Amino acid sequence: MTLKEKEKSWKEISIAAVCWKPSTEFLTGDWKTYKPVRDPAKCTRCLLCVIFCPDGAIHWKADRNDIEFDYNYCKGCGVCANECPVKAIEMKLE
Amino acid sequence: MQSEEWKFTAKDIAEKPDLFMSGHRACAGCAPAAVMRLILKATRGPTIVTMATGCMEVVSTIYPYTSWAVPWLHTAFENAAANASGIEAAIKVLRKKGRIKDEHVDVIAIAGDGGTYDIGIQALSGAVERGHDFLFVLYDNEAYMNTGIQRSGGTPLGASTTTSPAGEVIPGKLEPKKPIADIMVAHEIPYVATASPYYWRDLIIKVRKGLEVEGPAFLHVFAPCPRGWRSDPSKSIELSRLAVETCVFPLWECINGEYQLSAPSKVIAMAPQKKKPVKEYLAVQGRFRHLFTPKYEKLIDEIQRITDMRWQKLLKKCGIA
Ligand SMILES: Cc1ncc(C[n+]2csc(CCOP(=O)(O)OP(=O)(O)O)c2C)c(N)n1
Ligand code: SF4
Ligand code: SF4
Ligand code: SF4
Ligand SMILES: [Mg+2]
């Protein structure tokens, strides 16, 4: 990932180099080699994967009563697949 | 404590927006990052976080990006607890003078094992002795990871690090872990506890208790690091379960000097046949690979002996056995 806009020069940097952009604007999804793919038929919506994902890349969508993977951030670590109690997640080579 | 009545479901936790946000630069499968997310799921109102230098600080604030949706402050490696003292004292004065809204603000200091067991212990000891009202969270990945896996006072016996390299001369680190949480109990502070992310509910409740208690609180969180432990990134949360099941990292609380086992460890105390051998935990980590060779295999027995001895000591403190 590269910065989208031109880097600021040191003269324009915020006082004390305070970080001012939310990291959600920095996509880490292109780090992954394996991609978690869930079988919705097996999934019990227990939400353990949502709780354990180190990257907050699985969201609970209350309106749809379902979870959703955000591949923009998922680094492909496989924690979700390892912890899923019903083995609904498979790590597939991207 | 109100948290005794705090009931929440997995859905409640999933629905609470992340205050430690996505887009941080921790390695894939980093348990400390999962721990940061979980800690912030336990906040109850205005909260300020201050952090020591280390992986979680670095990966979350690479200029100009920040992963923190709460006010967050970093100064140096050794002084997370001194920062927290200053923040807490400043808030007190500003509230008294009417310069800010007269409401409670929680202060959380976070540091790694290097920033707690070693370089940070002086600031920490002083801050809790002065009785500042804050929660100190130690995320223990058992070495100085951010600078390339150097051994710390929290690195366990037999672990290979770049400054305790296993080879012809030594079998990895020669000394066992410093009992840091017991050292904090000896400071006679109102709340000390240990937690592990696999037991996420227990962890979240303990963070909340640490915030609710008046005065200093200390939470020691086990946090596997696949990079430094040479372990499979998908196994980070599993390792945090194995450490508890083998009694390598038992879960307990010490409230006003009274030790009590937490549920996952209590289960083992009540049914000792459930206690797994440390070998199961060691075998899945590359940092202990050399222990499974004839030259160093005896050290596994020594690690088992120390684990059992510490477990028995803990049971005694909890009034069991
Ligand atoms: C006074 C000082 N000495 C050394 C460093 C270099 N340094 C930065 S992070 C770090 C290791 C931190 O280890 P730990 O607290 O265990 O956190 P981890 O990186 O493992 O999460 C070191 C030695 C520093 N920043 N400041
Ligand atoms: S593979 Fe890792 S980063 Fe991706 S969704 Fe699963 S737990 Fe999160
Ligand atoms: S852990 Fe498995 S069963 Fe639970 S919500 Fe995730 S995919 Fe579904
Ligand atoms: S080195 Fe370890 S603690 Fe640091 S970001 Fe990587 S996995 Fe996390
Ligand atoms: Mg460390």
HEC string of B194-222? EECCCCHHHHHHHHHHHHHCCCCEEEEEE
User: Which parts of chain B register pLDDT below 50?
Assistant: none
Nearest CA to ligand 4 atom 5: B26
E strand segments, A1-94: 21-22, 34-38, 58-61, 66-69, 89-93
CA of B277, closest CA in chain A: separation in Å?
22
**Residue B205: its pLDDT value, please?**
98
A8 has pLDDT over 80: no
Residue B5 confidence (pLDDT): 79
Question: Could you tell me which CATH class the domain A27-93 is placed in?
Answer: alpha beta
Model pLDDT, residue A7: 61
CA distance A47 to chain B (A): 6
Which numbered atom of ligand 4 lies nearest the CA of B25? Answer: 5
Half-sphere exposure (Cβ direction) of B239: Cα atoms closer than 13 Å? 26
Reported confidence tier of residue A5, pLDDT bands at 50, 70, 90? low
CB B228 within 8 A of CB B287: yes
Structure tokens at B257: 């000097």
Sign of CA dihedral B283, B291, B236, B181: positive
Residue A57 has pLDDT above 70, yes or no: yes
Domain locations along chain A: 27-93
Q: Is B253 helix (H, G, I), strand (E, B) or coil?
A: strand
Amino acid at the residue B221: V
ipTM score? 0.96
Residue B202, amino acid:
D
Q: Name the one residue in this structure whose structure tokens are 């379960």.
A: B241
Band of pLDDT at residue A16, cut at 50, 70 and 90: confident
* B10 touches A: beta carbon within 8 Å: yes
* Pick from A35, A17, A21, A20: nearest CA to A74: A35
pLDDT of A2 higher than 70:
no
B2-317: CATH architecture? 3-Layer(aba) Sandwich (3.40)
Determine the Cα angle at B184 with ends B248 and B137, to 5°: 75
Instruction: With CB atoms and an 8 Å threshold, state whether B66 touches A76.
Output: no
- Closest CB to B25 among A28, A51, A53: A28
pLDDT class of A1 with cuts at 50, 70, 90 = very low
* Distance separating alpha carbons of residues B193 and B217, to the nearest angstrom: 8
A79:B64 CB<8 A: no
- Contact indicator for B57, B120 with CB cutoff of 8 Å: no
